[in-house]
Amino acid sequence: MKYKYIFSCLLLITTVFGQPNLNAQTVEKTPFKAFNIKGFHLDLRIQVMTPKALNEFANTLASLGINTLVMEWEGTFPFEKHATISNEYSYSKQEIEDFISHCNALGIEVIPLQQSLGHVEYILRNPRYANLKEDNKDISQLCPMEVADNKALFTDLLTELANTHNSDYIHIGGDETYLLGHCDKCKEKVESEGKSKLFVDHMKMIADIIIGLGKRPVMWADIILKHPEAAADLPKETIFIDWNYGWKINHFGDIPNLQKLGFTFWGSPAIRSHPDNWFVIDWTTHFKNQNEFIPYARQSGYQGMVMTSWSTTGLYGFTWDVGYDVIDMVQIRNTYPLSGFRILIASYAEALNSNKPLNPEAFVIKYGKERFGLQPNEALNLWQFLSVKPILIENTKPVNGESIQHLKTEYNITREKLIKLTPKKNQEEFNHFKLMADLRMQYLNFKAIESEYNSPDFRISQTSGLIERLDTILEDAKSLDQRFIALNKDFLYNTELEEQNAIRVQAVHVLYNRLAKLKE
């Protein structure tokens, strides 16, 4: 009863004030309860890892005590009956089976993730599945009212996944279904029965397929928390994952109410999420996320934890043909590859196995000394680099109101301290930090030029000077490209490395070409 009372007080605090500030003294008084699922989620929508990289990554996870890997294969899975879905980076069936066997030998259970309502652009881009679209132009979601065809498709897909993976679970997605009630048939159902019923009827159909295959369905919790009215209709075998990337508790809705219905919950923080991109990595938010959310989830009775690491937001731009036939689609956001984030994975593993909230500064200093052989003052410089709050630049202006030049000056102080560090071991891992720092500096240099170009004071007479500075950026980019390839060779496919290098300087080339035309 004592702990039930503590939890009730904690729930009241979080409802009123948001995320609790859990300190070591509070948590130490609570009996330690290990998570059954110590998981990691691999997003293979872009930045598809090579088979060699997958195996090495699994080795790293196992060495840190991770026992579960959720694989969002998306277009990389070689479906037999629906080979149309597979993309240019799809694995062979043998590569999939070998990887799962490798993970199992390490004590890691591999759970497949098959999106089954939203985030299905990679399926609906193909004319074969055009009849399932909720909208002809926004193809992020299929229509849940196409019951027979949906059931036939997902019975095929999920059966193949169940036959390939020996896990007790299959993740069925279900997040960010923003088009619920969009088409005429769905609107009619929403008007008569509500959005929750529209969502639940579809997801129950998917969950029932899973249960019929002898597995337990796992799904993201955001939509059912927003629309919980029909939640009781879902099978009680369903496991919900509360993904919380640093916001208030019950961000999407009332979790205890779903727990009262008998549903199991897992939690999910993140090490790459919005606003992270190639040039902005919000280390402070990710460390804070682990510090606050993991202890809360443990005290709230969550049975598992699955760390996400998003390579992209899942939003895409499209090249269309007549009738909105998809010629090509490209991701809106790109992030630094997962190869550079071992330190966050290690801190996550420590947080999972400790009754105390993670102390980010102490962890990084310890990691710097033990992993890289740094002296205490050098490890402190690493912490200072990781604790710099990244400032976004929107419409050519820093969001904090400072000048870009001020950002450059301030950032370069921390960057130079990092660049001067010489680790005694694991130099390649440390070189990712140095490359990230130089890429951020390249970004700030470009944004300064872009700001001048967009200034009301810009005149054609300034064109030559801006072009010269862009030339310097593009010349420096060649060296950065080589460093990126060297650090990620065999982690990503060669064509992906070239593609990522091109994306990183695409805006520079666009501005260069516009200025070059003005100069003529």
- Based on the fold, state whether residues 404 and 339 are members of the same structural domain: no
At residue 8, what is the residue type? S
* Cis? peptide before 127, omega within 30° of 0: no
Same structural domain for residues 387 and 305?
no
The answer to whether residues 314 and 399 belong to one domain is no
d(CA 434, CA 240): 38
Q: Residues 272, 305: one domain?
A: yes
Q: Torsion-angle region of residue 220: left (phi > 0), alpha (psi -120 to 50) or beta?
A: beta
Q: What dihedral angle (degrees, nearest 10) is formed by the CA atoms of 160, 161, 165, 170? A: -140
| Beta strands at 326-331 and 316-320: parallel, antiparallel or unpaired | antiparallel
Rounded to two decimals, the pTM is: 0.92
Burial 73-106 (b: 16+ CB within 10 A, else e): bbbbbbbeebeebbeebbbeeebbeebbebbeeb
Contact 240, 252 (CB under 8 A): no
Alpha-carbon distance values, 513 to 33, 91, 177, 499, 509 (Å): 59, 38, 39, 20, 6
Q: DSSP code of 218? A: E
Residue numbers of the domain that contains 12 = 2-23+30-352
The whole-number pLDDT of residue 9 equals 40
pLDDT value at residue 31: 67
71 and 140, same domain (yes or no) = yes
Domain co-membership, 293 together with 391: no
Do the Cβ atoms of 419 and 389 come closer than 8 Å? no
What CATH number corresponds to the domain at position 265? 3.20.20.80
Asked whether residue 222 falls in the same domain as residue 97, the answer is yes
CA distance 314 to 90: 18
> In the prediction, which pLDDT does 390 show?
86
Task: State the Cα–Cα distance between residues 365 and 123, nearest whole angstrom.
Answer: 45
464 with 488, same domain: the answer is yes
pLDDT at 30: 58
Q: Are residues 348 and 369 in the same domain?
A: no
Question: What are residue 239's DSSP bridge partners?
Answer: 218, 264
Q: C-alpha distances in angstroms, 284 versus 20, 435, 436, 510?
A: 17, 19, 15, 32
State how many domains the chain has. Answer: 2
What per-residue confidence (pLDDT) applies to 7?
A: 36
DSSP secondary structure letter of residue 48: P
Query: What does pLDDT average to in each consecutive run of 10 residues of the chain (520 residues)?
Result: 37 38 45 90 97 98 98 98 97 98 98 98 97 96 98 98 98 97 97 98 98 98 98 98 95 95 97 93 96 96 97 92 93 95 98 95 98 98 95 92 94 97 98 98 97 96 96 98 98 97 96 89
Does residue 253 share a domain with residue 104?
yes
Do 290 and 394 belong to one domain?
Answer: no
Collapse the DSSP code of 473 into the 3-class scheme (helix H, G, I; strand E, B; otherwise coil) and give the result: helix
Asked which of 293, 325, 352 is the last residue of a domain, the reply is 352
As a three-state string, the secondary structure of 292-342 is: HHHHHHHHCCCCEEEEECCCCCCCEEEEECHHHCEEEEEECCCCCCHHHCH
Question: Which of 352, 368, 389 corresponds to the end of one domain?
Answer: 352
- 13 in the same domain as 62: yes
Last residue of a domain, one of 313, 335, 352: 352
